[in-house]
Amino acid sequence: MLLLRAVLLILVLPSHGEGTTEGPGVLPPLSKGACAGWMAGVPGHPGYNGAPGRDGRDGTPGEKGEKGDPGLVGPKGDAGETGVPGVEGPRGFPGIPGRKGEAGESAYVYRSAFSVGLETRVTIPNVPIRFTKIFYNQQNHYDGTTGKFHCNIPGLYYFSYHITVYLKDVKVSLYKKDKAVLFTYDQYQDKNLDQASGSVLLHLEKGDEVWLQVYGDGEQNGLYADNVNDSTFTGFLLYHDTY
Ligand SMILES: *[C@@H]1O[C@H](CO)[C@@H](O)[C@H](O)[C@H]1NC(C)=O
Ligand SMILES: [Ca+2]
């Protein structure tokens, strides 16, 4: 410990003596004329900053700022008073018609019936079969030029057909309004006469058409008729609509 203090004293003492005699800023004044031949002295230290000046005058007011964002929506107000009733609306649509009255003493008789047959073999598929041998067609509701029955009286109708099959199979359909509703298929047996038949009840509206037609690829068109073997198509009104 003592040794350390002694070392410290030796180190401090020389620097203290130097500061008192040759420190900067305490140079002794020099006489005029004595400068000649002297070396320039060490530059002095820069001075301290002066005290801050007083506040300046207020500046002119700045330009007006941009408009701020809108404020929040306020609470909902109270409901207003009931308004004056509006003008009466336009007249409504007519109601559903009432039911038809009871039929009186009828002067009109509802009649619709036909019964027709083939005169020759049928060869053309996918078109109405034309039955041109007329057994009955009093009201002319069946058209022999088109092969179609045309409904004039809405109601329930009965249709039937009895086809003689010869040389080929028969695939035949009863059509109603461009849609096949009844299908009959008979496979022809060699050296034989076969029969194919069908019957159905159909409700028809005025203007509906009903006819027979070969369906399939056209190979099953063995509908046959001669003087002593008939193929027939029959239809008649069973009940007319009463509404
Ligand atoms: C049609 O029927 C008669 C019998 O009445 C028969 O003799 C005749 O061969 C038949 N036609 C055909 C093509 O078989
Ligand atoms: Ca058969």
pLDDT tens sequence across 112-158: 999 999 998 877 888 999 999 999 999 999 999 999 999 999 999 99
User: In this predicted model, which residue has the larger pLDDT, 10 or 124?
Assistant: 124
Residue nearest to atom 10 of ligand 1 (CA): 229
Residue 3, in any domain of the structure: no
Instruction: Give me the pLDDT at residue 48, please.
Output: 87
pLDDT digits (tens, 9 = 90+) for 37-82: 557 788 888 888 888 888 888 888 888 888 888 889 889 889 889 9
Q: Does the structure show a pLDDT above 90 at 228?
A: yes
Paired strand residues for 224? 164
Domain range for 199? 113-240
Residue 5's alpha-carbon distances to 10, 83, 125, in angstroms, are 9, 108, 138
Please state, rounded to an integer, the average pLDDT across all residues of the chain. 84
What the block records as the tokens of 153 is 């009286």
Q: For residue 184, which ligand has an atom nearest its CA?
A: 2
Assigned domain for 90 exists: no
Tens digits of residue pLDDT in 194-207: 999 999 999 999 99
Q: Can you tell me the distance from the alpha carbon of 175 to that of 156, in angstroms, rounded to the nearest whole number?
A: 16
206 assigned to some structural domain = yes
In a domain, 31, yes or no: no
CB distance 147 to 114 below 8 Å: no
- What is the whole-number distance in angstroms between the Cα of residue 203 and the centre of ligand 1? 37
* pLDDT higher than threshold 70 for residue 29: no
Q: Radius of gyration (Cα) for the chain, nearest Å?
A: 63
Domain assignment of residue 198, yes or no: yes
Q: Write the residue with the smallest CA distance to atom 12 of ligand 1.
A: 193
**Residue keyed to tokens 């069946």:** 142
Count of domains for the chain: 1
Pocket test for ligand 1, best of 191, 228, 231 (most atoms within 8 A of CB): 228
Query: Looking at this protein, which amino acid is placed at residue 44?
Result: G
Determine the distance separating the centroid of ligand 2 and the alpha carbon of 188, expressed in angstroms.
5
Is residue 182 situated within a structural domain? yes
* DSSP output for the chain: -HHHHHHHHHHHHHHHHHHHHH-TT-PPP--TTTTTTPPPPPPPPPPPPPPP----PPPPP-PPPPPPPP-PPPPP----------PPPPPPPPPPPPPPPPP-S-------EEEEE-SS-----SSB----EEEE-TT--EETTTTEEE--S-EEEEEEEEEEEEEEEEEEEEEETTEEEEEEEE---TTS-EEEEEEEEEEE-TT-EEEEEE-SSS--EEEE-BTTB--EEEEEEEEE---
Q: Is the pLDDT of residue 9 over 60?
A: no
The answer to whether 122 and 104 are in contact (CB under 8 A) is: no
Tell me, what's the pLDDT at 198?
Answer: 97
Residue predicted with more confidence, 234 or 66:
234
| Ligand 1: lining residues by beta carbon, under 6 Å | 166, 193, 226, 228-229
184 lies in a domain? yes
Angle (CA) 220-164-231 rounded to 5° is 110
Domain assignment present for residue 93? The answer is: no
Mean pLDDT across the stretch 26-33?
49
Given this model, what pLDDT does residue 18 score?
42
Average the pLDDT over each of 4-13, 15-24, 68-77, 210-219 and give the range with the smallest value: 15-24
Q: How many CB atoms lie within 10 A of CB 194?
A: 17
Check: CB of residue 214 under 8 Å from CB of residue 137. Answer: no
The closest residue, in CA terms, to atom 13 on ligand 1 is 166
Q: Report the CATH number that the domain containing residue 195 is assigned in CATH.
A: 2.60.120.40
pLDDT-derived band at 105, boundaries 50, 70, 90: low
* pLDDT for the residue 7: 47
Q: Which ligand is nearest to the CA of 194?
A: 2
